[in-house]
Structure 1
Amino acid sequence: MKLLTLFLLYIFLIPVVIAQNEPLSDLDLSELRWQNRVLVIFAGDIESVKYQEQLRLIRDRMEGIKDRDLKVISIFEDGNSNMDGVNLSSSSVNLIRKRFEAKNNIFRFILIGKDGAVKLNSPETVSMDVLFERIDQMPMRRREINQ
């Protein structure tokens, strides 16, 4: 019985683990247009002080992040870049770096509206109050609130 249980766990868990580690195939930011606002955060690596501070600010206000249809893309010089925790392919990362002319190891925080336009571009961490205020002033967000 134990052997059968282990076998079943192996069969069902291995594909889940593999799927979680598979990179997305060439994420194109235009695929998110009209559906999501996007935060693109550039940093040297996941241990970057500014990145960790920004991540803490985001995690502390996840309800507001979800309410505003935000996707969070983290682009690192060293390590796996991701969107909401799912690894991105190197070609996706290169396209995003090129679009925003990202410099190596330099922190940047970029907000992209649902229309695909850059709404905020900062070399410093951004408080969620500032972010939410910026989003809540957007005409599309006002319509969402009123619906």
Structure 2
Amino acid sequence: MANLNDFVWQKRPVVVFADSPADPAFADQIAELEDRWPELAARDVVVITDTDPATPSEIRRKLRPTGFALVILAKDGTVALRKPLPWTGREVIRSIDKMPLRREEIRRGALSAESPPRLAGIL
């Protein structure tokens, strides 16, 4: 049982809902995410699945999906995207890379890769 509050400012939850684990859309979405897992992990993604509407989880009650749903949350815990159909791994990655915090992470990463910290070597 995941709690979305545990991921705030730490991870980007990607939540995949379905009414059954046998739902073809669910299987397709999971396969897409698995195929791009290294790139998703580099973006601090955590994948959460919920395929049991009969016993609503806290996440299901909060996000209120109908049937299949893909929900991407930002690191601040807000819903960044909802989709009623599976998305390719590439589309998920592109939507994450458009998020303001992710853009800042990319910018900071690019700066640190270009030049070493000024105090390095002073020790």
TM-score normalised over the length of structure 1 = 0.68
Contact (CA 8 Å) 2:9, 2:75: kept in 1 or not? yes
Q: Which has the larger radius of gyration?
A: 1
> Quick one: distance in 1 between partners of 2:96 and 2:73?
10
1:78 Cα deviation from its structure 2 partner: 7.0
Looking at structure 2, the residues matched to 68 and 115 of structure 1 have their Cα atoms a distance apart, in angstroms, of 14
Amino acid at match of 1:60: D
| Deviation of the 1:39 alpha carbon | 0.6
Query: Paired residue for 2:5?
Result: 30
Deviation at 1:102, TM superposition (A): 2.7
Tell me, yes or no, if structure 1 residue 67 matches structure 2 residue 42. Answer: yes
Deviation track 1:2-41 (CA, whole Å, cap 9, x = no partner) reads xxxxxxxxxxxxxxxxxxxxxx4xx321110000000111
Match of 1:102 among 33, 55, 65: 65
Structure 1 residue 94: Cα displacement: 2.0
Equivalent position SS for 1:111: strand
Q: Residue 28 of structure 2 contacts residue 86 of structure 2 at CA under 8 Å; is this kept in 1?
A: yes
Counterpart for residue 73 of structure 2:
112
1: CA distance, partners of 2:39 / 2:5? 23
**C-alpha separation in 1, matches of 2:36 and 2:11:** 17
Say which SS state the counterpart of residue 74 (structure 1) adopts.
strand
Instruction: Letter of the 1:64 partner, please give it.
Output: E
Match of 2:91 in 1: 130
> In 1, distance between residues paired with 2:92 and 2:33?
10
> What SS does the corresponding residue of 2:81 show, helix, strand or coil?
strand
The C-alpha deviation readout for 1:53-87, integer Å capped at 9, x for no partner, is 001111111111101100101001279xxxxxxxx
**Preserved contact between residue 36 and residue 90 of structure 2 (Cα < 8 Å):** no
- Can you give the 5+ residue segments of structure 2 that lack an aligned partner in the other structure? 110-123
Two-structure CA RMSD over aligned residues (Å): 1.8
CA distance in 2 between partners of 1:64 and 1:134 (Å):
13
Percent of residue pairs identical:
29
Query: What letter is aligned with 2:58?
Result: L
Residue 128 of structure 1: how far off its partner (Å): 1.6
Matched, 1:52 2:30: no
SS of the counterpart of 1:50? helix
